[in-house]
Amino acid sequence: MILLASYQGAAHIGAQLDSIAVQTHRDWSLIVSDDGSTDGTRDIVRDFAARFPSGRVALVDGPRKGATPNFLSLLARAPEGAALAFSDQDDLWLPGKLSRALDVVSGAQPAHYAARTIITDENLCPLTGSRLFHRPFGLRNALVQALMAGNTSVFNPAAARLLKEGAAAAEAAQIPAHDWWAYQLMAAAGARLVHDPQPALLYRQHPRSEVGRNDTLGALALRARRLAQGEFGDWMASNLDALAGAEHLLTKEGRDLLHAVRPLIDMSGAEAVRLILKTGLYRQTRAGTAALLSAAAAGRLRARRLPQASRPPEGGR
């Protein structure tokens, strides 16, 4: 089951839907949750749905609260026992994306697949590959860095069940980004995490998507600025609240680390630095971890508990 959250996506959603239609894995179905588009997005989805048997492609009304609440609402609609794939509205999947991912996540253990992407301009001309990460994926990384990109993520049925059960707590906590939360929940619940070095899709860049990049000087500067301004502590607080609300889904190791890290959002100075070092939190690069420690020392990981309306759009973390 593919879960696609849409809003004002008429310029590019048709190409993405066509790339889903030509997947080598043919046994797919799709739910598009639209947040009130007025630009023709809904008509494009309806026309696409008409190409397939009734029920294979569904168009539903989203909650109109932003991309993350929309994806959480999609989890509530997803059928029990199905593998799940998140989809953005403006990418273009490579033909073997679903087949490769589903092969990787087969088995009874919860498994979460994500992959690199080919970053393109608005016309899908390739610019560069997304970053290749070398340090291990796991909860100590997930708590302080979002790496398992939602637009590439696929979950086997056991992992999908965890997402569905944890979604209510995530909604109540007003998490900043569905894919960051999914990475954290999967890691905390003991799921197998796979980050494929082979690109799975063309990641289209346009003015509304630039905030999601992590490879440009502008994107890196934006992240550094948000870390320096203290927004990161608010995001951490929401994410920790979401995990606490789903604690029954976590492994003992996950629960223990959650409890050990939680005081960090109320700390500053040497105390905060010591806790990061003691718990082993890390980002993928030495520079990233150094920036995290510097922010902690300056008190910029302390949560300010901002309301949802004051939080940033997806991707800038």
**What is the per-residue DSSP string for 36-69?**
---SSHHHHHHHHHTTS-TTSEEEEE--SS-HHH
State the pLDDT at residue 298: 93
The predicted model gives 140-149 an average pLDDT of 97
What domains does the chain contain, in order, with CATH numbers?
A: 2-212 (3.90.550.10), 217-310 (no CATH)
Of the listed ranges 12-16, 247-251, 308-312, the least confidently predicted one is 308-312
State the pLDDT at residue 312: 41
Question: In this predicted model, what pLDDT tens digit does every residue of 71-121 receive, in sequence order?
Answer: 999 999 999 999 999 999 999 999 999 999 999 999 999 999 999 999 999
State the pLDDT at residue 227: 66
State the pLDDT at residue 217: 54
- Predicted confidence (pLDDT) at residue 308 exceeds the cutoff of 90: no
- Predicted confidence (pLDDT) at residue 310 exceeds the cutoff of 70: no
Rounded to whole angstroms, what are the CA distances from 195 to 69, 72, 177? 25, 22, 19
Of residues 147, 139, 83, the one with CA closest to residue 117:
147
- Predicted confidence (pLDDT) at residue 220 exceeds the cutoff of 90: no
> Which SS3 state, helix, strand or coil, does residue 111 take?
strand
Taking the whole predicted model, whether its pTM rises above 0.75 is answered as yes
- Predicted confidence (pLDDT) at residue 218 exceeds the cutoff of 90: no
State the pLDDT at residue 315: 36
The predicted model gives 7-13 an average pLDDT of 98
State the pLDDT at residue 224: 66
Place 314 in a pLDDT band, splitting at 50, 70 and 90: very low
In this structure, what are the phi and psi dihedrals at residue 195, rounded to the nearest 5 degrees? -115, 110
**At CA 192, angle to CA 191 and CA 193, rounded to 5?**
110
- Predicted confidence (pLDDT) at residue 215 exceeds the cutoff of 60: no
